[in-house]
Structure 1
Amino acid sequence: MNGKLLNTEEIRSRLTDEGTGCRLFYCEEVDSTNDWAKREGRKGVSGGAIYLAERQTAGKGRRGRAWNTAAGTSVSMSLLLRPDLPADRISMLTLVMGMAAADGIRRACGLDTQIKWPNDVIIGGKKLCGILTEMSSGTDYVVIGIGTNVNVPAFPGELAGTATSLLLELGRSVSREVVTAEILNFFWKYYKIFMDTGDLSGLSRRYQEILANRGRSVRVLDPAGSFCGTALGINDRGELLVKRKDNGETEAVYAGEVSVRGIYGYV
C-alpha cells in the first residue's frame, strides 16, 4: 500500500474518449500540485494538462489550510485549464469538479458519496476529498486542485472525527489509478456540458441529487451577519439557496464570500 508509486500509464489506459486528449505529468515530490500547475500556466502551457504528485510539502486547502500528503496513500492532482469564460463564471468549476469526484469515486468503489456544498466530497458525514480552484489575475488560466484520501490508514486528533478515506470505508486498499481515471473521466464529461451552457444549468439536477446539505439545517457564516436556515439546493450559478429561519426569505449564498456549516457533526 505505502511506497507504491502512481502508475500514470495505467491512468491513461483507463481514460474514456473525453479524457484522451489530456496530458499527464507526474513528480514524486512537489511543494504543491496547484503551485506546479500555476508555474506551468505562467509559461504558457496549454489547457488540459494534469499534474500529479506522490507527496506535497506545501499543499493547500481552502482558506489557507495545509494539505500535505504521505506517499502511496492519496491522490494529489491539479488540472490546468484555459476556459473562455468571464471571471464570475470560473468559480463554478469548483462545483463541476466536486460532482466529478463524487461520481468518479462512486463508479470506482461503489460508495454512496455526497457533496457538502460547494465542493467537499463526503461519505457518512466525513470528508473524503477537498478541492481548491485558483485563477491567474488576468484569468488567462485556471487551476483546479483536488486531494483524495484513498489508502490513508488513520487520521490524527480531531481529524479522526471529520475525515475518512476509501481504505477506512471499504476495509481494503483501493487502486489509486482507477480512482484518478474515473474522476478525470467524469470531469471531462461534466466540463464539456458546463462549457456548452456557461453555467450549471445542465448539471444542477445531478448536483442536487448528491447534495448532502439539501433539506438540512445550516448556519451561514457571513461577515455581514450570520443566520440559520434550511438549504434548498443550488441555482444555475452554483449559489446555495437557503430559506432563512428568522424571516422565511430565501437567500442565495455565494461560496467565495461565506462559509456554511451543518454536516460535520455541528450546525
Structure 2
Amino acid sequence: MKDKILRELYEKKGQYISGEELSEKYQVSRTAIWKHMNALKKEGYVIETTHKKGYKLIESSGKLIPEALKRDLNTVEIGNKIIYFDTIDSTNNYSKRIAKDAAHGTVIISEEQSGGRGRLGRNWISPKGEGIWMSIVLKPDIPPTEGMKMTQIAAAAVCNAIRGVTGLEAFIKWPNDLVVNGKKVCGILTEMAGELTRIDYLIVGIGINANNESFLEEFQHIATSLAKEKGEKVDRKTLILHLLKEFEGLYEDYINQGTLEKTLAIIRNYSAVLGKSILVIRGEQQLKATVLGIDEEGLLEVKYEDGKRELLMSGEVSIRGEEGYI
C-alpha cells in the first residue's frame, strides 16, 4: 500500500491529493493513509500536508523515487523492470536470489547496503541515501569466457555518465574502478553463474560514491565522492538514467557486433593506467611493471622490469600505483 501511495504522489507531483481520494480508491481508512504518509516521511520523502487540500510530494527530496526512474528511463531492455529497496544486504546478493526467474535487464537499486561487497571479497561501504548502489541482471547468449567483458562495458558506461552529468574528469582504473583526481569514486563487481558452455545469468554490481560526505580513516587517502570533487551534490536520478542508457548502448553494440570496439575506445581514451608504472599484485607477490596497452579482448598488456611482457586477465590480479592507489 505504501508503494501505491508513493506512486500516486509522484504522478500528481506539484499537486495535492486528498486523503479522502486515496481512501476511496484503495478502500482503506483515512487514518491508514495518514499512517502510510508518516512512514514515507520517516523514510526521507518530503511530503507537504495541508488542511482541506491533502498531501503533496516535494521533489527537492534527495530520495530516489522508482516511479520517476521508470517514467524517465530511455532504454529498451536495461531497466525494463526496476526493483527498489530502502535497505538491503547487497543488491548483487538479491540479484542472484532472483536471477533465475528475473527478466534480462532487471535493475535492483537500494538506498543502502548493509553488506556491500567489492572485488576479491573486499567490503564496500554503502551509506544510506548518499551513493548509487545497484545491480543489473543480464542473460546474454555468449560463452562464459566472454562474461567478464561486462565489467568493461560497465566501466565505460559509468565513465561516460559521470563525465556527461557532472563534468568531472573521470578515468578508468583497469579493470573495474573509476577514479577522479586519483581517488576511487566507483567500483564494479561482476558475478556469473552457468555451465561450461553457457551462461545462466550475469550480475553487474555498480557502486558509486555520489554524495558521500565522509569516509572511514583507512579509506580517506584512496576514496572520494563526486560531490566532494564537484563541490556540490549530484542528482543521483539523472546519473542513474544516463548510466543505464550508456550501458545499454555499449552492451547492444557488443552483442550485435561481437567486439568491444566502442567500449575499448572509451577505456583507452580515459584510462588511468596506460603508460604508467604500476604494481601487479598476485596474492602476496608484487611486481613492478609498465602498462603498454589494452588489447582487443580487454586484457592489460604490461612489461616487467626484467623485460618480460604479459597480458593480464582481470580475474587473476590487482593493480595499483607504485606510490598510492593509482
TM-score by length of 2: 0.76
Counterpart residue identity of residue 251, structure 1: E
8 A Cα contact 1:85 1:198, kept in partner: no
CA distance in 2 between partners of 1:261 and 1:196 (Å): 34
CA distance in 1 between partners of 2:212 and 2:144 (Å): 36
Counterpart residue identity of residue 312, structure 2: V
Counterpart residue identity of residue 87, structure 1: P
After superposition, the Cα gap between the structure-2 partners of 1:19 and 1:102, relative to the gap in structure 1 and judged at 3 Å, is: farther
CA distance in 1 between partners of 2:94 and 2:315 (Å): 23
CA distance in 2 between partners of 1:21 and 1:223 (Å): 37
- Stretch moving more, 237-246 or 108-117: 237-246
Counterpart residue identity of residue 141, structure 1: Y
Partner of residue 66, structure 1: 123
After superposition, the Cα gap between the structure-2 partners of 1:102 and 1:60, relative to the gap in structure 1 and judged at 3 Å, is: same
Return the structure number with greater relative CO, CA threshold 8 A, min gap 6.
Answer: 1
Asked if residue 213 in structure 1 is aligned to residue 270 in structure 2, the reply is: no
CA distance in 1 between partners of 2:93 and 2:78 (Å): 24
Partner of residue 114, structure 2: 57
8 A Cα contact 1:243 1:250, kept in partner: yes
Q: Deviations over 1:106-163 (max 9, x none)?
A: 1111110000000101000000010100011432000000011111111120211110
Match of 2:222 among 128, 139, 162: 162
8 A Cα contact 2:79 2:244, kept in partner: no
Q: Tell me how far 1:30 sits from its aligned partner.
A: 1.1
Partner of residue 99, structure 1: 156
Counterpart residue identity of residue 46, structure 1: A
CA radius of gyration, larger in: 2
Q: Tell me how far 1:21 sits from its aligned partner.
A: 6.1
Query: SS at the partner of 2:87?
Result: strand
Asked if residue 173 in structure 1 is aligned to residue 251 in structure 2, the reply is: no
- Stretch moving more, 12-21 or 107-116: 12-21
8 A Cα contact 2:78 2:244, kept in partner: no
8 A Cα contact 2:79 2:106, kept in partner: no
Where in structure 1 are there 5+ consecutive unaligned residues? none
Partner of residue 254, structure 1: 313
Counterpart residue identity of residue 15, structure 1: L
CA distance in 1 between partners of 2:182 and 2:322 (Å): 6
Matches within 5 A, 1:217-236: 217-222=277-282, 226-236=286-296
Partner of residue 209, structure 2: 149
CA distance in 2 between partners of 1:168 and 1:224 (Å): 33
Counterpart residue identity of residue 231, structure 1: V
Partner of residue 22, structure 1: 80
Q: Deviations over 1:212-255 (max 9, x none)?
A: 100100111236964322112211211101122212x4311111
TM-score by length of 1: 0.92
After superposition, the Cα gap between the structure-2 partners of 1:170 and 1:185, relative to the gap in structure 1 and judged at 3 Å, is: same
Query: SS at the partner of 1:46?
Result: coil
Aligned residue pairs: how many?
264
- Stretch moving more, 53-62 or 222-231: 222-231
Aligned CA-pair RMSD = 2.0
Asked if residue 118 in structure 1 is aligned to residue 178 in structure 2, the reply is: no
Asked if residue 5 in structure 1 is aligned to residue 95 in structure 2, the reply is: no
Q: Deviations over 1:19-38 (max 9, x none)?
A: 67621110111111001111
After superposition, the Cα gap between the structure-2 partners of 1:113 and 1:149, relative to the gap in structure 1 and judged at 3 Å, is: same
Percent of paired sites with the same residue: 36
Counterpart residue identity of residue 165, structure 1: S
Query: SS at the partner of 1:140?
Result: strand
Partner of residue 33, structure 1: 91
Q: Tell me how far 1:197 sits from its aligned partner.
A: 3.1
Once superposed, which parts of structure 1, at least 4 consecutive aligned residues long, lie more than 6 Å away? none
